[in-house]
Every structure is written in C-alpha cells, then in structure tokens.
Amino acid sequence: MSFHLSDAYARKLEQYELSTKLGEGTYASVFRAIHKPSSTLVALKQINLNRDEGTPCTALREISLLKELRHANIVALLDVAHTRERLTLIFEHLDCDLKQHMDACGKNLAPANVQLILYQVLRGIAYCHSKSILHRDLKPQNLLLNRATGDVKLADFGLARAFGIPVKAFSHEVVTLWYRPPDVLMGSQVYSTSIDMWSIGCIFGEMTTGRPLFAGKNVDEQLARIFKQRGTPTELTWPGVSQLPNFRGDFPVTPAVQLASIVPKMDSLGVTLLNRLLQYNPAMRVSAAEALQHVYFASIHAIVGNLPNEQSIFDRTGITMILEPPVEAAQAPAASTAAAAAAVPAPIAQQQQDISQQQQAFQDQQQRELQLTRMQQMSQFQQFQQLQAHQHLLAQPNHVVNNNNNNSSSQAHPSHLDSQFTQ
C-alpha cells in the first residue's frame, strides 16, 4: 500500500469546515473556517496550483518568511497543507482589515485609536526590519484588526523580500500605487526600509482624513498628486533626484503645501511625525525604531516600555482601544449616529479625554521641534526663485568686477549662496 504526503495533507484539511469566503485575488481565495477539533476560527488561504508553473513564488516567499517571523503584530501562520490541486495556508483569524474598519466607522477614527493602530503597525514593521525583511506592500487592506481586543497585525507577505548590505537592486513594481514612495515611482530599484516607511505615512494620513492622501490612477498622476501637496522635488531639496531613471526635467514646479492643512484633524505632534515619514529623500525618512520613540507616542511608550515581541500592547494595564461606532451606526442616518455616540460608556470617554490631556502636555515641550519642522518645510517655490536669482547673478560676468571697491561682505559669493540652499 503506497502512501502519499498529499493524502496526509488532505486528511489534515478535513479537520477544517469552510464557512464564509472573505476575499479573492489573482492566485488565491481566502475563507473563514472552523478547526473542528478545537472549534477555533481560522482563515484559510487557498492557492490553486498550475501543473506547468508549480507553486507561485509569492506563496513560497510568504511561507518562508512567516515561519521565521514571530511577533504579536504579525499574523501567525499556523499550518500549511499541500495537495496536488492546491496549497493551503492556515492563518489565525481576525475580524477585518483596516480598510473595512475605517469604512465601518464612517472613515472617522478616534484620534487615540489612530495612535494605537499606528504604534502597532510600526512595532510590527520594526521587527521585520530588524530581521532584514521588507514588507513592500503595506496598505490598509494588508493590516488585519481584531475589533474585540484592538490588536493589529501585518499580513500578506507575498511581496516581502529579505535584504542585505549593500541593498540589492529590486523590482520597482512593488507596493500598491497609492502607497508607493516617489523614489520607486521614478524607477529606483535600489531601496531599503524607507519603502515601508513612506507607505506607513500614507496610511497614517488616511486614518486621520478618512481618504487616501495620494490617490492617482497611474504613475504620472500619482507623482503629480504627491508633488501638488509636498512640492516638486529638486536637487536642492532631494540630492540625486535628477539621476532617477524616470525623472523628468519638465515636471511642473509646484510649491509645497503646509502639511497641517492637509491633515487638519491631526495634532501638531502627529504632524511632525507624518512629516518625517513622508520625506522625499529616502535617507531622511524616519526609521520604524525611531518613530516608535517619537514624542507622539509618549503616553503609550510610558506604559508599554520595552515589551517582549510576543506580547500585545493591550497586555499592559492602561492601554485600551476606544469603542468605535459599529457598522450599522456608520451607515445609519445622522440621528442614529448621534445616538450611538451618546451611548459610549463614560469610562471610555474619560480615557479618551485623559489621553488627549497627556498629548497636550507634551505639545508644550515640543514647540521647538515643530518650529524647526516648519522651517524645513519652507516653500520650495521660494527656493526655486532663489536658485533662479542665483543663476541670473552668475550669468553677469562684470558683476563682481564692478564691485571691487565695495565692502567684501556685499560681494556675491557662490559658495555662500549655495550654503543657503543646503541648510
């Protein structure tokens, strides 16, 4: 009697009862299922196999990486079953993804919850980066949420890659368009952890505004939308940008918009962090480890401290998600929404007030950082004008000669002018 490993896997799959189809992609379908022996909810990702092509490389990559990653903010791969027809990945089950949660809440997340969600995303990606792994496809749909506990977990590592030093040349066709950084949009294939940090900045802004920060239909429109808000990059603001493969010298010159006006509901501490996440120059983007230490998270970090990787932040007393309105409340008329808001328990409302007061206390001591950030966000249009004036001055050969009798401090000195642009 012959024995096939696929037969053993088939018997393993018999332990699961499929219930609801959660989603479908090009290569896989995801189902909610019940593990019958333990009555535990799980998620089954079924990947149909092509006899000629074999197992998709994205699936192999996801399996190999998730077997290595063990963290409270990364979805757990519980088991794998491989039959002749399909490959099945068995994951822990979570209620929804962040996109579904934002839609259910009427795209109006409580500021304290935005803070807690972002902290967990950064915590998960910091762990990945410490293991030399880039996610490369961070977006709300790939962040899973347990509504009951508030836990957030990174998922879908199909595009994730291990990286080394020096950083390898990767494909620039990564990251869903809206969350793709400008260096990758302009064809850069040499990148590192900064690719994930730009994506996290886009998610941060989207949680606050209720809509994507940069929602282009194609690469050109995506760049145009970014430039419209962040200003058109130049060699002054982003050294080396003109060397990117798809950089065009005819990009319309657009001045930067104050970031606070783009995310009016975000407090000043959040704006300073968002600015560091959305830096044009990849080398200037804040790392995940640095972001976790930002004063925006001071009230959380004071409680969480150096939490072990396997523990949830909600294991610590004092960390609790504020009750968000249910799906029905988000879809109901305004009167029903108001009634649902009025029904929020008093202790939760008090907790939100306490967190807000803590943030306000830290704002006073961070005014210097905010002022510095605003100086760094000086209008790029003004910089462009200064550059034009500088070039015009250098184009006049008699200028310096005619001023030999003047005080030396009044002479035009190119290196002095250049220093103004690089500061």
What tokens appear for 184 in the block?
Answer: 């990758």
What tokens appear for 251 in the block?
Answer: 């990009």
Check if 95 is active-site: no
Phi-psi group of 171: left, alpha or beta (phi > 0 → left; psi -120 to 50 → alpha; rest → beta): beta
153 labeled binding residue: no
What tokens appear for 119 in the block?
Answer: 């902290």
Rg over alpha carbons for the chain, rounded to the nearest Å, is 25
DSSP state letters, 354-413: HHHHHHHHHHHHTHHHHHHHHHHT--HHHHHHHHHHHHHHHT-THHHHTTTTS-GGGS--
Among 137, 151, 183, 196, which one carries the catalytic annotation? 137
Contact between 6 and 83 under an 8 Å Cβ cutoff? The reply is yes
**Torsion from C-alpha of 283, 177, 272, 134, nearest 10 degrees:** -50
Cα–Cα distance measured from residue 267 to residue 260, given in angstroms and rounded to the nearest whole number: 8
Contact between 126 and 163 under an 8 Å Cβ cutoff? The reply is no
Pairing of strands 40-48, 133-134: unpaired
Amino acid at the residue 18: L
Contact between 399 and 393 under an 8 Å Cβ cutoff? The reply is yes
Spell out the alpha helix ranges (H) of 70-144.
98-104, 111-130
| Residue 235 DSSP symbol | T
Cα–Cα distance measured from residue 172 to residue 126, given in angstroms and rounded to the nearest whole number: 22
| Sign of torsion over alpha carbons 346, 122, 156, 311 | negative
Contact between 141 and 306 under an 8 Å Cβ cutoff? The reply is no
Tokens 């940008």, located at residue: 241
Annotated binding site for ATP: 45
Which residues belong to the active site?
Answer: 137
